Amino acid sequence: MFKNHRARRVTTFVLLAGAVTFASSAAGNAQVAYSKASTAKCGTVTLADNAWVGYEANLAVVSYVLKHNLGCKVVVKNISEEISWQGFASGQVDAILENWGHQDLAKKYITTQKVAVDLGLTGNKGIIGWYVVPWMAKKYPDILNYKNLNKYASMFKTSESGSKGAFLDGDPSYVTNDEALIKNLKLNFKVIYTGSEAALITSFRTAEAQKKPMIGYFYEPQWFLAQVPLKHVTLPPYTVGCDTVAAKVACDYPPYPLNKVAAVKFMKSGSPAVAVIKNFKWTNADQNSVAKSLAFDHLTDDAAAKIWVNAHPAQVKTWLGA
């Protein structure tokens, strides 16, 4: 059974000040302290932790490198996406490690207030959409076209959805157009919020195991899809501008090239952590491997990060600018 590996909290990770040198193994150990990257004092770096395990995979690895290679004190704050952006103005957040869109927030804090900057792509490619459990797609193949969903709506009814089919979403803070889509596409469904990524995954897993109907919001990259290959429902294709007015959205979600965002104050701090976060880049497969270690194997952040870091010394070295 899936269980969210991290409770909501504010945690401070501390490593004694100063660079720490580790012996390199024959295979190459990414924990070796690079003198070029460690000459400046790192100080404290405050990172937002948004509520999905893919983000936490980024966070675990970046925090591990900052602590073990640069001697940083890393403060992690569990806050929602929008509150994370507010932290740039208040000085409470130095960086967001995985941003999904939020053009309105970028305009406010980057363009208008000029308290944050786009720090480049993470290398992860985000896909948001509607998914059904595999057994349904196999038994009712036409369900993968939104035009046929009303034909099956009664199968999805629950006590919470009443006479309509239940469409499950996760955390209410996630980027979602689902209520508008259901209304504008004239679908006989009602959005039900499960409350978290963990609850959404549990619902999908249970529905597939027990052969119960389920449709809901989901996204990639996500390690869970390797275990339960959810099937993507085709919506009207996305075109630029089709989602400009939130209440009128009747198209699929856009592709999301995921990026990092940092506070201008942090960028001017002189901390070597700035270069690491700016250079941080990996793939969906990289993120999924660490996310699985956290959420399914129940490893600690440092244990999961250490496995990946030790297996990718050259990649970590490029982040350090060494």
- Give the pLDDT mean for 205-234: 93
Position 243 scores a pLDDT of 92
Q: What's the rounded Cα separation, in Å, for the pair 14 and 180? A: 45
Position 23 scores a pLDDT of 30
Average pLDDT value over all residues in the chain: 87
More confident residue, 52 or 18: 52
CA neighbor of 49 nearest in space, from 39, 38, 57, 37: 57
Q: Where in the chain is the domain with CATH 3.40.190.10?
A: 10-124+259-320
| 126-248: CATH, from 3.40.190.100, 2.40.50.100, 3.40.640.10, 3.20.20.70 | 3.40.190.100
Q: Where in the chain is the domain with CATH 3.40.190.100?
A: 126-248
Three-state secondary structure string covering the chain: CCCCCCCCCEEEECCCCCCCCCCCCCCCCCCCCCHHHHCCCCCEEEEEECCCHHHHHHHHHHHHHHHHHHCCEEEEEECCHHHHHHHHHHCCCCEEEEECCCHHHHHHHHHHCCCEEEEEEEEEEEEEEEEECHHHHHHCHHHHEHHHHHHHHHHHECCCCCCCEEEEECCCCCCCCHHHHHHHCCCCEEEEECCCHHHHHHHHHHHHHCCCCCEEEEEECCHHHHCCCCEEEECCCCCCCCCCCHHHCCCCCCCEEEEEEEEHHHHCCCCCHHHHHHHCCCCHHHHHHHHHHHHCCCCCHHHHHHHHHHHCHHHHHHHHCC
Task: Check whether 17 has a pLDDT greater than 60.
Answer: no
Express each pLDDT in 161-186 by its tens digit.
Answer: 999 999 999 988 777 899 999 999 99
pLDDT band with cut points at 50, 70 and 90 for residue 92? very high
Position 188 scores a pLDDT of 98
pLDDT band with cut points at 50, 70 and 90 for residue 253? very high
Position 25 scores a pLDDT of 35
Neighbouring residues of 25: CB distance < 8 A, sequence distance ≥ 6: none
CA neighbor of 187 nearest in space, from 213, 214, 150: 150
Task: Check whether 265 has a pLDDT greater than 90.
Answer: yes
Structurally, at CATH architecture level, domain 10-124+259-320 sits in 3-Layer(aba) Sandwich (3.40)
Express each pLDDT in 293-317 by its tens digit.
Answer: 998 899 999 999 999 999 999 999 9
